[in-house]
Amino acid sequence: MAAGVDGGDAAGARQHVFLIPESVKDAAKKMRSGLMFVKLVSPCSGEGAMYLFNMCLQQLFEIKVFKEKHHSWFINQSVQSGGLLHFATPMDPLFLLLHYLMKADKEGKFQPLAQVVVDDIYPDCVLLLKLPELEKLLRHVTEEKEIDNRKYYKYSKEKTLKWLEKKVNQTKAALKTNNINVGNRVQSTAFFSGNQVASDSEEDYLRYAHGLISDYIPKELSDDLSKYLKLPEPPALLPNPPAKKIKLSDEPVEATEDYTKFNTKDLKTEKKNSKMTAAQKALAKVDKSGMKSIDSFFGAKNKKKK
C-alpha cells in the first residue's frame, strides 16, 4: 500500500491531498530541488512504505494515509474519488536504522554503517546515511567501536529496550495531554477497543503507547518490549482477533447456546444492514472496528500482521 504518490498514471488527473509541516513549505522558499518521495521499508511489516525526504534540511517524514470507505474530494472544479488524506509527519530515522541494524546483527559483529544500511529492494535507504547526527542517534541502540577513525556499530538489544521505554513514556505523556485521546467519549469509542476497564487507567495508556511504538518495530522486538515494560497479558479480548473467533472456540457447551442466539441475532442485524444506505453501512463498520494502533487513525488497511 504505497501512499498513492507512486501512481503516475498516464491520465495525470490524479490529485493527492496532503498535509505537510509548515517547516517544509518554509524551507521550500530557499530550495530549488531536494524534496522527494521515496519508497523505503516499513520497519514494522518489512514491506514498502512511502516517505518524504527533505534533502535540504536533511529531514525524514513518513507518509500516512487516511482512508475510509465512501469518501471523495471536490477540489476546486474537479472531483477526486477515494477521499484519501495524506499526512507527512516527522519520523525518527532511528526506527528505520534499527531495522537494518537488527538484520545485520545476525552476523554478530561490528560493522561500518554503510555496510549495514543496504537494501536490494529499497536501495534509496542510502539516503538515511545522509541524515544529520546519526552517530548521536545510534548511541541509543548500538555498541560502537572506533578503529582508525572509522566507526563500527553493533545492535544492542539492551540499549534498544531502554530507548524504546523512553519512547513509550513520552508517547504515553502525549496521549494524556492530547485532547483527542483524553476526551472520555472519544477514548472509549474510538481509541480503545471496547474494553470495559476504566478507559483512562495507567495500564491502558501504557498498552496503547506500546501499541503505537510497535508499529515501528518488528514483532519480536515488540514482544520483548512488552515483557520489559512488564505489561500484563491483555485480558481475554486481544484487540485483533475477531469477536466471532472467540465465540466459536473456547466457550463451554452450555454457554454456546446463549452465544448462538447472539450469533443469529447478529446475522439478522447484518441482513438489516444490507438495507441500510451505503453511508450508514460505512458508519456501522467504523463503529465495529477494533482500534488499537496507528491504523486506528487511518481507516481499515488490510495490513498483514506477522
Interacting residues of 137 by C-beta distance below 8 A, sequence separation 6+: 93, 94, 97
If binding is defined by CB under 8 A, does position 298 make contact with other proteins? Answer: yes
- Cα separations (Å) of 101 from 69, 98, 113, 143? 38, 5, 9, 11
Query: 226 or 296, CB closer to other proteins?
Result: 296
Q: How far is the CB of 108 from other proteins (least distance, A)?
A: 26
Query: 180 or 255, CB closer to other proteins?
Result: 180
Bin 4: left if φ > 0, else alpha if -120 < ψ < 50, else beta.
left
If binding is defined by CB under 8 A, does position 69 make contact with other proteins? Answer: yes
If binding is defined by CB under 8 A, does position 68 make contact with other proteins? Answer: yes
Residue 135 CB coordination number (10 Å): 12
If binding is defined by CB under 8 A, does position 210 make contact with other proteins? Answer: no
* Largest Cα span, the chain: 74
Size of the residue set binding other proteins (CB under 8 A): 105
> DSSP secondary structure string, 73-93?
EEETTEEEET--EEEEEE--H
Q: Which of residues 234-273 bind other proteins (CB under 8 A)?
A: none
Residue 157 CB coordination number (10 Å): 13
Q: How far is the CB of 64 from other proteins (least distance, A)?
A: 7
Q: Which of residues 3-62 bind other proteins (CB under 8 A)?
A: 5-25, 27-29, 31-39, 47-48, 52, 55-56, 62
If binding is defined by CB under 8 A, does position 194 make contact with other proteins? Answer: no
Spatial separation of the C-alpha atoms in residues 173 and 216, rounded to whole Å: 18
Spatial separation of the C-alpha atoms in residues 63 and 18, rounded to whole Å: 9
Spatial separation of the C-alpha atoms in residues 165 and 147, rounded to whole Å: 31
With CB under 8 A as the contact rule, the residue among 117, 175, 206, 225 that binds other proteins is 175
Q: How far is the CB of 223 from other proteins (least distance, A)?
A: 19
If binding is defined by CB under 8 A, does position 149 make contact with other proteins? Answer: no
With CB under 8 A as the contact rule, the residue among 107, 113, 213, 234 that binds other proteins is 213
With CB under 8 A as the contact rule, the residue among 129, 180, 197, 243 that binds other proteins is 180
Query: 246 or 291, CB closer to other proteins?
Result: 291
Spatial separation of the C-alpha atoms in residues 261 and 267, rounded to whole Å: 10
With CB under 8 A as the contact rule, the residue among 44, 64, 100, 142 that binds other proteins is 64
If binding is defined by CB under 8 A, does position 124 make contact with other proteins? Answer: yes
If binding is defined by CB under 8 A, does position 231 make contact with other proteins? Answer: no
DSSP class of residue 123 equals G
With CB under 8 A as the contact rule, the residue among 118, 238, 243, 279 that binds other proteins is 279
With CB under 8 A as the contact rule, the residue among 57, 161, 284, 286 that binds other proteins is 286
Nearest to 66 by CA among 95, 47, 88, 96: 88
Which region, judged by CB under 8 A, interacts with other proteins, from 89-97, 150-158, 235-243, 255-263? Answer: 89-97
Interacting residues of 294 by C-beta distance below 8 A, sequence separation 6+: 64, 212, 215
Query: 267 or 279, CB closer to other proteins?
Result: 279
